[in-house]
Chains A and B, each alone.
Chain A
Amino acid sequence: MSYFGDIGKGIKTLLSGMKVTGKYFLNARKEIITQQYPENRDTLEMFERFRGEVVMPHDENNEHRCTGCQACEIACPNGSIEIVWDRKVDEETGKKKKYIVNHIYHLSMCTMCNLCIVACPTDAIKMAKKFENAVFDRTALTKVLNKPGSKLMDGVEE
């Protein structure tokens, strides 16, 4: 008796499960939750705090806000940031002033922990939304963040 009872119970639970899946099967068009990712690239918008890679914003005069204080380099847990800096004489004051030659960023080592952004006293670097970082050669993941010929924005002090 329990043999047939088990079969009946099995069919009953199977049907109740099928009811749930059947409901979604029939209403599939109303509740679309998947994104057609490579096709929707043009409309895909990441959240504003999304951490994709470190970038250094430049204004229209090719000026950035990085003073070369190396706070980000010290804050970085895995050596993703390297700053090559030098000193030059400021024409107005006559004092020697620090400036960055290259702000080197190793994306291949970065864990997107955001500690460099928090550490920066002048908001010179920020996280960008770009997340498609696959390249064919890993040397392409080492980037120089300051653009060639760029200089420090006026009024940004350490």
Chain B
Amino acid sequence: MKTEELIINPQGKTEEYFINMGPQHPATHGVLRLLLTLDGEIVRKVDADLGYIHRSIEKMTEFDTYRQIVHLTDRMDYLSAHMNNEAVCLAVEKGLQIEVSDRVKVIRTIMTELTRLSSHQLWWGVIGMDTGALTTFMYAFRDREMINDIFEETCGARLTMNYFVPGGLMWDIHPNFQKRVKDFIKHFKTKLPEYDTLLSDNVIFRKRTEGIGILSKEDAISFGVTGPGARASGVRCDLRKKHPYSAYDRVEFKEILGTKGDTFERYRVRILEMWESMHIIEQLIDNIPEGEILEKTKAVIKLPKGEFYQRVETARGEFGANIISDGKKSPYRMKFRSPGFSNLSVIDHLAKGWKVADLVAIMATFDFVIPDIDR
């Protein structure tokens, strides 16, 4: 057969073909491999191939003590490190039946909200990059740097903090902490409207996101989507509101809900969540009560026989830590429910019929962190 005959199809029909997106593709934000079945540029099927960054964290926990497990969860969803730590700490505290002091609860809440802000800032920078606007990344990192400094000063690290320990906190907050947080809130309140001017109101960005990848409320629930992705479809799934933990029951904030469930709605929910996070921090930062930083626990923590589950709201959705204990110093089995894994399952459903560039925009609004999916 001649070459021209292969290229030019006389019937004008197109054939479906297969292409790999990833594992080294910048738009997949990590080592995620998507097997795309395409028709021209239109996505027919998306298969996710996982396992490129699997570190068997769940198995490793079976050989670690309860104190040591906490630092492993930093490395799952590294942008929500504090929330992951909190889930494990709360589950262990549930097993030990100890109640941390109000001071610890308030500091934990401020820290997790700062983490949520920094995670959303990074996401905002990256969604700009994915849709073709490089400026946003620089602007987001400028503001994120301030949060990283706060973490570095109080926790000692910028990304993998390991600041929460079962029973409380590793140290008390740094004397500069309150001042720095207030400075940041003041700074960021002037910068967040710029985010809207730069990206949210931009015509190109609107056309890339509005009406793309619509997720209905029913589908969001049946696929197990949580976090801002589900709230944009109108699912009330904010655990901070529904099952308050730490100090969330003593602060006022709105659960941001969307109606349309398209890509822009998911974007809008995250931007509005940043305002709410700042609002939560503002209520707590001046009212940190006095109290014990660390509850007394035994040198080697042993949980009683049984099952202990705690879920928290990370920047991406619901994160759960389930400990099955047989009374020894390590868990018999530990299972993590990560938000990214369930959110990834809906991509095939959403991207069908849209173009490859739209798939990138849809993925960006779910804000995948691949080590969180693989664990």
Select from chain B the residue with minimum beta-carbon distance to A21.
B135
For B67, list chain A residues within 8 Å (CB): 75, 115
Contact of A20 among B149, B165, B198, B204 (CB under 8 A): B198
In the bound complex, residues from chain A placing their C-beta under 8 Å from that of B157 are 50-51, 112
Q: Is B68 in contact with A17, judged by CB distance below 8 angstroms?
A: no
**Known interface pairs A17-B197, A49-B155, A118-B170; 20 further A-B residue pairs with C-beta atoms within 8 A, sorted by A's residue number:** A17-B135, A20-B198, A21-B135, A33-B145, A47-B149, A47-B153, A49-B153, A49-B171, A50-B152, A51-B156, A75-B68, A112-B156, A113-B68, A113-B71, A113-B160, A113-B162, A114-B162, A115-B71, A115-B162, A118-B165
Given contacts A21-B135, A77-B71, contact A13 B203 (CB under 8 A): yes
Bound complex: CA A25 to CA B262 (Å)? 34
> Does A94 have its Cβ within 8 Å of any Cβ on chain B?
no
List B136-155 residues whose CB lies under 8 Å from chain A: 142, 145, 149, 152-155
Complex-state Cα separation, A14 to B198, whole angstroms? 8
Minimum Cβ distance to chain A for residue B189 (Å)? 16
- Chain B contact-residue range equals 20 to 34
- Known A-B contacts A50-B152, A115-B71, A118-B170; the reply to A6 vs B203 at CB < 8 A is yes
List the 4 closest A-B pairs by CB distance, nearest first: A77-B68, A113-B71, A49-B156, A51-B156
Contact residues in A for B71 (Cβ distance below 8 Å): 77, 111, 113, 115
A147 at the binding interface (Cβ < 8 Å): no
Q: A127 and B202: CB pair below 8 A?
A: no
Q: How large is the interface on A (under 10, 10 to 19, 20 to 34, 35 or more residues)?
A: 20 to 34
Residues of A within 8 A of B152 (CB): 46-47, 49-50
Of the candidates A6, A9, A14, A33, which one forms a contact with B142 in the assembled complex, judged by CB atoms under 8 Å apart?
A: A33
Contact status B203-A16, CB under 8 Å: no
Residues from chain B with Cβ under 8 Å of A113 in the complex: 68, 71, 160, 162
Q: Which residue of B lies closest to A24 (CB)?
A: B139
11 contacts between A and B (CB under 8 A): A14-B203, A16-B197, A17-B197, A17-B198, A19-B197, A47-B153, A49-B155, A112-B156, A113-B71, A115-B68, A127-B156
Cβ distance A128 to chain B, nearest Cβ, rounded Å: 12
Which residues of chain A are near B160, meaning CB under 8 Å? 111-113
Which B residue sits closest to A77, measured CB to CB? B68
A13 surroundings in chain B (CB, below 8 A): 201-203
Could you mark each residue 64-81 of chain B with 1 if its beta carbon is under 8 Å from any beta carbon of chain A, else 0?
100110011000000000
Which residues 59-106 in B have Cβ within 8 Å of A in the complex? 64, 67-68, 71-72
With both beta carbons as reference points, the residue of chain A lying nearest to B174 in the complex is identified as A49
What residues of chain A lie closer than 8 Å to B202, measured between beta carbons? 13-14, 17
A50 touching B203 in the complex, CB below 8 Å, given contacts A17-B198, A20-B194: no
Chain B residues within CB distance 8 Å of chain A: 64, 67-68, 71-72, 135, 142, 145, 149, 152-157, 160, 162, 165, 170-171, 174, 194, 197-198, 201-204
Cα distance A50–B148 in the bound complex, in angstroms: 12
Q: Is A10 on the interface with B (CB-CB < 8 A)?
A: yes
Q: Which residues of B contact A77 (CB under 8 A)?
A: 64, 68, 71-72
A127: B residues at CB distance < 8 A: 156
Residue ID in chain A nearest B201 by CB atoms: A13
Nearest CB in chain A to that of B204: its residue: A10
Query: CA–CA, A111 to B160, complex, Å?
Result: 9
Contact between B156 and A50 (Cβ–Cβ < 8 Å)? yes
The residues of A that contact B68 with a CB separation of less than 8 Å are 75, 77, 113, 115
Min distance, Cβ B86 to any Cβ of chain A, angstroms: 16
Residues of A within 8 A of B171 (CB): 49
CA–CA, A24 to B264, complex, Å? 27
CB neighbours (8 Å) of A114 from chain B are: 156, 162, 170
Q: Which residues from chain A contact B170 at a C-beta distance below 8 Å? A: 114, 118
Contact between B198 and A49 (Cβ–Cβ < 8 Å)? no
Q: B154 contacts which chain A residues (CB < 8 A)?
A: 49
A158 and B170 alpha carbons, distance in the complex (Å) = 22
Question: Shortest CB–CB separation between residue B88 and chain A, in angstroms?
Answer: 13
* A49-B174, A115-B67 known; A9 vs B203 contact (CB < 8 Å): yes
Determine the distance from Cα of A58 to Cα of B166 in the docked complex, in whole angstroms.
Answer: 32
Residue of B nearest to A33 (CB): B142
- Bound-complex Cα distance A65 to B83 (A): 36
Kindly provide the distance from the CB of A86 to the nearest chain B CB, expressed in whole angstroms.
25
Nearest-Cβ distance from residue B156 to partner chain A, whole angstroms: 4
- Binary contact readout A44-56 vs B (1 if CB under 8 angstroms, 0 otherwise): 0011111100000
Residues 65-119 of A contacting B (Cβ, < 8 Å)? 75, 77, 111-115, 118
Q: In the bound complex, how far is the Cα of B197 from the Cα of A90, in angstroms?
A: 74
